[in-house]
Amino acid sequence: MASSKRATSDSDIRDQHAARKVPRLDSSRVHASCSLSYPSTSQPPTRPAPFQRPRPLISFSYDTNRQLEFSEAAMRYYVSPPSGADLGHGYERWIRRPEERGRLDGLLRAISEIRKRGTDPVVSIVSWRGVMTKILTAPYEDRDGWELNVMAIRGTLYLEEFIDDARLKEKDNMTPRHRMQTYYGYAFESWCTASSPDVPSGWGGDVDTNVQWCSVVKTKLGDTRMVIGGEVDCVRDRYNGHNDAMLELKTSMAIRGHRDEMRFEKKLLKFYFQSFLLGVPEIVVGFRTPNGQLVTVQSYKTLEIPRLVRGKQDAWDPQICLSWGDRFLTWIKSNVEQPGNAAPGSVWRVKFTPCVGVELALLREEERREVEAGEDRVGFLPRWYYEEIQDLSSSNAHSCGDTFGAEPQPTRSSASTTGVLPAGWQI
Ligand code: 0WD
Ligand code: CA
C-alpha cells in the first residue's frame, strides 16, 4: 500500500514544523522556492479541518462552439439507462473537445457576473473543482504528480492546473484503448440523461464534449473561503438553484474479485471528493464489462462513501485529506502573500511529487511568459479580469495597490457567507 512508501509518522510530525517560509524578496526576478513534505496517512490528522456545506452562486453552460452563457441550456436530467447498454455506441460520432490548458476563464467570467448581480463573495481561493480534488486527494496519490500555477491578488489566490506542451500533446494523443475507455464514460452519460425529465430511457444524443453545464459554489475549508466551479452531469427531476438535486455519473469496471474491489474502493476517494466539493449529494456508477457493456448501475450517497471504506484494507480517511488541504492552502498563502515577496502579476508554481511532497517556486520572467502563452493575459489571468479587479481595488477606500497580503475587503454579502455548518458536511 502506498502509505508504506511515505514518510513515517515521526518524520511527518517533524515536517509539519519544517515547512519553510520563502525568504523576503525585493524583486520578482529572484527565484525563490520552498517545500512542504508529504502527509502521513498512518495516523489521524493533528488538526481537523471543518468544511462548510457548498452553496451554489451561479451556473453556466458551454455550447458546442464552447461559447459560455449564464443559463441552464446544457443542464441534463437523469433517466435510468437501459440494461446492457452499449457504451461504445456512437463512438465514431464523438465530437471531441481538444485538450486545453486548465485556464480559469469560464470561472472568472462567472465571478464577474456574480459581482455584476450585486454580490461580491469574500474569497481566499478561486479554482476549478478538479484542481481542489487533486489537492485534497494528494495524501493517497502514489502515481500521478501535478503542477499548479498560482497568482495572489489582493488576498485571493487563483490556482490553475499547469500542463506543459509535451503533456498536453500526450493527453491529446491517447492510445486507441484509452480513448475508447474515456468514451465509455461519456456514452454512459448519454444513456443516463435527457433534455427533459420525462423522456423514456434511451440514448440521449451523440457525445459532444464541448457541451458542459457548470456550477459555481462558495464554501470554506478551515479558515479559507473559496469559490470553486465544476461540471455537473445532470439533475434528478428538477433544478431549483440548489445542489441537492445534482448528480454525478461515473463508470467503472464490474467488480469480479477482491483486487477489483480494492481498486474500486481506492477510486471512491476521488469520486467522493469530486462530488463533496460541489455539494453534489449522489453519484451513480455504471459498472461495465471490459468491452463496454453496461452490467449494473449503483447509486451512492456522497456523504456515506467514507463509511463504506472505513476499516477496509486499503481504507482512506477524508479527514486526513481535509486537514492536509487546509495545511497546504495555508502554507501557500503564507508564502505567496508575504508583503514585498513578488511583483504584481507574478506567478508561482506548485509541484506535487507523489510520495515526496510539494514545492513552491516563484516563476522567472521567461517562465511567466510561457504561462501567458502569447495571449492577452497577466500571468494566467485574462487581462480583462485582471483590470476589472484593479478597478474594484481602486474604487475601494482602502486601496493600496497590488500589495500581497491585503485583507479581502468586506462587502455587502460578507455577513451572509458565515453560515452555520450543517452536520452532514462536517465529516
Ligand atoms: O481541472 C482540470 N484538470 C481541467 C479542467 C483541465 C482542462 C479543462 N478543465 C475544465 C473542464 O472541462 C470544465 O470546463 O474546467 C472546467 C471544470 O472542470 P472540473 O469539473 O473542475 O473538472 P473535473 O472535476 O476534473 O472533471 C469533471 C468532468 C469529467 O468527468 P469525470 O466523471 O470523468 O470526472 O469534466 C470533464 C469530464 O467529463 N473533463 C474533461 N473533459 C474533456 N477534457 C476534461 C478534459 N480535459 N477535464 C474534465
Ligand atoms: Ca462524470
Mind listing the pLDDT tens digit for each residue in 104-142? 999 999 999 999 999 887 899 999 999 999 999 999 999
**Grid cell listed for 15:** 515536517
Is 102 touching ligand 1 by the criterion CB < 6 Å? yes
Is 250 touching ligand 1 by the criterion CB < 6 Å? yes
Residue 381 lies in a domain: yes
Could you tell me how far CA 360 lies from the centroid of its own chain?
A: 19
Residue 21 · residue 336 · CB < 8 Å = no
Residue 337 lies in a domain: yes
Cα(130) to centroid(ligand 1), Å: 6
User: Which residue has the least CA distance to atom 18 on ligand 1?
Assistant: 230
pLDDT at 427 over 60: no
Strand, coil or helix: 219? strand
Helices (H) and strands (E) in the chain, counts: 10, 18
Q: Which residue has the higher pLDDT, 21 or 361?
A: 361
pTM: 0.87
Q: How many residues does the chain have?
A: 427
User: Which residue has the least CA distance to atom 43 on ligand 1?
Assistant: 99
pLDDT score of 46: 75
Residue 388 lies in a domain: yes
Is 72 touching ligand 1 by the criterion CB < 6 Å? no
Residue 119 lies in a domain: yes
Residue 424 lies in a domain: no
Residue 113 lies in a domain: yes
- Number of the ligand closest to the Cα of 213: 1
CA–CA distance, 414 with 121 (Å, rounded to integer):
6
CA–CA distance, 51 with 276 (Å, rounded to integer):
10
CA–CA distance, 148 with 331 (Å, rounded to integer):
14
Closest approach atom of ligand 1 to CA 230: 20
* Residues 2-16 pLDDT 10s: 333 333 232 332 333
Residue 427 lies in a domain: no
Q: Where are any strands of DSSP class E within 234-356?
A: 234-235, 246-253, 282-288, 294-301, 348-353
Is 274 touching ligand 1 by the criterion CB < 6 Å? yes
Residues within 5 Å of ion ligand 2, judged at the Cβ atom: 233, 249
Confidence tier at 391 by pLDDT (50, 70, 90): confident
Residue 417 lies in a domain: no
CA–CA distance, 168 with 198 (Å, rounded to integer):
40
Nearest to 269 by CA among 310, 327, 231, 215: 310
Domain that holds residue 212: 2-411
Cα(272) to centroid(ligand 1), Å: 15
User: Which residue has the least CA distance to atom 45 on ligand 1?
Assistant: 99
Q: How many domains does the chain have?
A: 1
